């Protein structure tokens, strides 16, 4: 059970991003009496990390648009004591204290309940030359500022993106939008490797069509200086590839230093272990967002899938439970979507490989349809793949890639996963139809029907 | 139980639209041996009735695009004996015969199993002048041809649409697209009256903004000739409103004459009564599509909601069961969507009034959000209303109206209805997020969250 919060007690939140600020806001709504302090290492709270590639591309023109509410809003409107540039270092769960650095010195603060929302950081591969000017990661608003500035100052004409995950692909698009020629270097045999190979291939083709060079199974050895002081070459496979800028997008890692300083248990994933109420191994300490695990709806096992949606949800629940609530998190399906040039790519649940790794007997059905009625102009192809359990027909996952309408269609499958539906159930949902929005048989229904056929045979 | 079909037996299908051709095609796939005859009154089979407004507006430019497959395709590729201009008149279920008129005379055909897919027809209100040139209904491709021709020949500048249901509104848009000034006359106090009043108001505003005049609570008395032989005036409320063309869109009625000739039972709605296997009161006779009822997923009671999606689904099931199958139809949620100028309006399940009429204690939550992240340009407002059962929180229905993304979002709620989920369940679905497609909290989640709050209080 979470701790009961005494009248006028203090909730301490570490981390001012989605999870932390959701926790603080939720706690304030439920408990006007408690004191709420947020320690944020940086100078900005509550920004949209998912919008950063669009800030780099200038689709999001104003930096202010990245921030939903600033620190002063939280201080003024929600009486949340937001302390910026405050870097939490040591947690003592017995004494219920956190020690933190701030521009004025070091301080120790007591808490009745603590929510850790320290998020994740960009993984930094151990490559020579990572420190060179022009080598960037993208995780924070200042990262976005620096990349924009560098492109403008140096009039960058070509760049390399390390990593073909969805953030890498979004960054490739952002740079192309800025007139930069982009090469993606991916260690694995394909980009977007959390998708099935037959689906990520659609994305590879789109990248090629847009003039992006993709080298897979390519191990980067390091970076070298060019004519100026900045990066000039990427060394990979014994070759020196000229590159005026490098974006390292090699995944993220949970920020667990504070949790570890207090001896909190980590899960197998390396993220902070929590129960369904977001409580860690210490009853007065909760964790939420990219630093913590969550239960996967399909496998029922702890997983670590850092996503903004999850951070918001877990944050709210942690905030509620930290001040005496007892709400449970329903878990994650890992639903995600991204825009890659003219494509939408969306995914929920398990991929075929992830399902196999979870020990499930898995089959799948893939169909090609269209986003609109054949009679109605516009729209385009839409490929839907449903992954299901061989014996029972239970929906385990889905991937949808196409010109339009992939993003919100995946949510229907996410609903089916939440409801533990079979492919027969999915095929029986009464979905909408009008020529501008869908063929009479929605592509998801066609895929589900195909799966039912395989199940019967 | 449906009839077992003997080897080489004959399946007769009456009606060549979605339901009939789906039934015939499904039967052929399952039973290569049976003879399949389709009697179609008109000259076209398998056309997209839902695309007709877009044919009138010229968004769909080619008449051929309205037809997925023509009669010859079915004859050649599926060995289905399609007989056009064949008007079924009398059913004798004991003798298992149907008598029909065709250009060569009258014929009686025997069957082992019959699928009735006679569809629905436009309701013709008993108004004087209905027969005048320039007064149209829109249900068939020839109706569409005639309207297009009339607009071009007469260079129509202003027109009246009788009825503010979704087909009336789609026709209003189609005419405006053609440069015609449109007035909508609606008997009820508002347009789109299958939506809740607070939702249909959003649509009224859009119509006004687009220059469409809407008169509600207006009873039309008849039509009068103008200077030429065609309609020139609509008489309503004692006034003569000049109108060079009239589209009568006063709802549809099930075509049940053939069923009645055979003594088949009709439901309360006036449509043909069927069980979950699409079997009528006569065991060798099945019915599907707009001529038949269906069970509503929410109320569990028979209902009549004529929609193309349902016609396709019921048709397939009727075709399967007519040749020895035993598949059940899961029922309908009445999910529908329409485009009205710059708006998408989507609905599933029961409206507040329909829920009350079904004897349910009902509450609702309505929220205004946006279709994309606040940081991402484009998109627009999106209003979501969730209707739920007061005590249990069960999701009964939803309505979504907005600039974009309403259509496919409604399917997520349709999935929740299929799964008999509560608003708490709906709020816990792991929906997708990326700035171009949604705010971090999808509008459906926000509405569901609002509903949970109301439930708790």
Share of chain B above pLDDT 70, in %: 99
Whose tokens are 């508002």? That residue is B190
Query: What predicted TM-score, i.e. pTM, was given to this entire model?
Result: 0.96
Confidence of residue B47 (pLDDT cuts 50, 70, 90): confident
Per-residue model confidence as pLDDT tens digits over B300-324: 999 999 999 999 999 999 999 999 9
Pick the CATH number of B342-456 from 3.50.50.60, 3.10.450.50, 3.40.50.1970, 3.40.720.10: 3.50.50.60
Confidence of residue B457 (pLDDT cuts 50, 70, 90): low
Asked if pLDDT for residue B287 goes beyond 60, the answer is yes
Over residues B426-430, the mean pLDDT reads 98
Report which of A232, A243, A252 is spatially closest to residue A125, judged by C-alpha positions.
A252
Class of domain A336-456: alpha beta
Reported as a single tens digit per residue, the pLDDT across A289-341 is 999 999 999 999 999 999 999 999 999 999 999 999 999 999 999 999 999 99
Task: Please state the rounded mean pLDDT for residues B64-75.
Answer: 93
Residue B432 contacts A where some CB pair is shorter than 8 Å? yes
pLDDT in tens, B189-230: 999 999 999 999 999 999 999 999 999 999 999 999 998 899
* Least-confidence region, from A45-49, A143-147, A280-284, A424-428: A45-49
Over residues B106-114, mean pLDDT: 98
A440 Cβ contact partners less than 8 Å away, ≥ 6 residues apart: A373, A433, B18, B48, B50, B308, B309, B312
Per-domain residue ranges for chain A? 10-42+84-120+253-322, 124-250, 336-456
Q: For A10-42+84-120+253-322, which CATH class?
A: alpha beta
Q: Do the chains contact at B418 and A440, CB–CB below 8 Å?
A: no
Say if A51 is an interface residue toward chain B (CB within 8 Å): yes
CATH pick for B10-42+84-121+253-322 out of 3.40.1260.10, 3.40.50.1980, 3.50.50.60, 3.30.565.10: 3.50.50.60
Of A309, A426, A438, the CB nearest to B440: A309
CATH for B124-250 (3.50.50.60, 3.40.30.10, 3.40.50.1970, 3.40.50.970)? 3.50.50.60
Report pLDDT for B81: 98
Best B170, B370, B375, B453 member to test A by mutation, with max A CBs in 10 Å, is B375
- Tell me, what's the pLDDT at B346? 98
CB atoms under 10 Å from CB of B124, counted, come to 12
Nearest to A376 among B59, B310, B430 (CB): B59
Considering only CB atoms, A431 lies closest to which of B309, B344, B374, namely B309
pLDDT above 60 (res A2) = no
Residue A409: the pLDDT is: 97
Q: How confident is the model at residue B3 (pLDDT cuts 50, 70, 90)?
A: low
> B375–A428: do the CB atoms touch at under 8 Å?
no
* pLDDT, tens only, B434-444: 999 999 999 99
Q: Which residues of chain B neighbour A19 with C-beta distances below 8 Å? A: none
Express each pLDDT in A413-443 by its tens digit.
999 999 999 999 999 999 999 999 999 999 9
Structure-token pair, residue B76: 């050649």
Q: How far is B357 from chain A (nearest CA, A)?
A: 22
Instruction: Supply the Cα-derived Rg of chain B in whole angstroms.
Output: 23
Mean pLDDT over the full length of chain B: 96
What is residue A416's predicted lDDT score, i.e. its pLDDT?
Answer: 98
Q: Say which of B35, B44, B48, B50 is annotated catalytic.
A: B50
Asked if the model's pLDDT at residue A1 lies above 60, the reply is no
Could you say which of B308, B438, B440 has the minimum Cβ distance to residue A440? Answer: B308
The answer to whether residue B291 is catalytic is no
Same fold, B10-42+84-121+253-322 and B342-456: yes
Whether chain A has a CB inside 8 Å of the CB on B312: the answer is yes
Residue A110's pLDDT is 98
Q: What is the pLDDT of residues A239-266, one digit of tens each?
A: 999 999 999 999 999 999 999 999 999 9
Task: With cut-offs at 50, 70 and 90, classify the pLDDT of residue B48.
Answer: confident
**Sign of the alpha-carbon dihedral angle for B205, B208, B210, B216:** positive
Residue B2 is predicted with a pLDDT of 55
Looking at residue B391, what is its pLDDT?
93
């Amino acid at each position: 059970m979470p701790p009961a919060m005494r009248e006028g007690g203090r909730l301490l939140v570490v981390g001012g991003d989605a999870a932390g600020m959701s926790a603080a806001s939720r706690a304030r709504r439920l408990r006007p009496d408690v004191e709420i302090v947020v320690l944020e290492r940086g100078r900005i709270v509550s920004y949209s990390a998912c919008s950063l590639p669009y800030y780099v591309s200038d689709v999001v023109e104003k930096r202010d648009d990245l921030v939903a509410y600033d620190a002063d809003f939280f201080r003024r409107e929600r009486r949340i004591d937001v302390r910026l540039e405050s870097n939490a270092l040591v947690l003592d769960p017995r004494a219920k204290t956190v020690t933190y650095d701030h521009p004025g010195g070091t301080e120790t603060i007591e808490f009745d309940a603590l929510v850790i929302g320290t998020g994740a950081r960009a993984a930094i591969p151990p490559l020579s030359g990572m420190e060179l000017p022009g080598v960037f990661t993208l995780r924070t608003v200042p990262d976005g500022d620096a990349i924009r500035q560098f492109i403008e100052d140096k009039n960058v004409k070509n760049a390399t993106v390390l990593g073909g995950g969805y953030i890498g692909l979004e960054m490739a698009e952002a740079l192309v939008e800025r007139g930069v020629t982009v090469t993606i270097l991916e260690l694995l045999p394909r980009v977007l490797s959390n998708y099935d190979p037959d689906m990520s291939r659609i994305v590879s083709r789109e990248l090629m069509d847009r003039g992006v060079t993709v080298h897979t199974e390519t191990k980067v050895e390091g970076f070298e200086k060019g004519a100026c002081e900045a990066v000039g070459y990427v060394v990979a496979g014994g070759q020196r590839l000229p590159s005026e800028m490098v974006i390292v997008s090699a995944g993220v890692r949970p920020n667990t230093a504070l949790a570890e300083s207090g001896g909190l248990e980590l899960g197998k994933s390396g993220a902070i272990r929590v129960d369904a109420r977001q409580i860690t191994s210490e009853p007065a300490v909760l964790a939420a967002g990219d630093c913590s695990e969550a239960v996967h709806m399909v496998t029922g096992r702890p997983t670590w899938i850092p996503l903004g949606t999850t951070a918001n949800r877990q944050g709210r629940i942690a905030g509620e439970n930290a001040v005496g609530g007892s709400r449970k998190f329903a878990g994650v399906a890992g639903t995600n979507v991204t825009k890659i040039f003219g494509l939408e790519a969306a995914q929920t649940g398990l991929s075929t490989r992830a399902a196999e790794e979870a020990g499930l007997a898995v089959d799948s059905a893939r169909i090609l349809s269209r986003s609109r009625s054949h009679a109605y102009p516009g729209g385009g192809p839409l490929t839907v793949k449903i992954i299901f359990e061989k014996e029972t027909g239970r929906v385990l996952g889905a991937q949808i890639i196409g010109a339009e309408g992939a993003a919100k269609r995946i949510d229907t499958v996410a609903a089916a996963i939440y409801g533990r539906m079979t492919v027969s159930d999915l095929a029986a949902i009464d979905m909408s139809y009008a020529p501008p929005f869908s063929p009479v048989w929605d592509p998801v229904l066609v895929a589900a029907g195909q799966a039912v056929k395989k199940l019967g045979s």
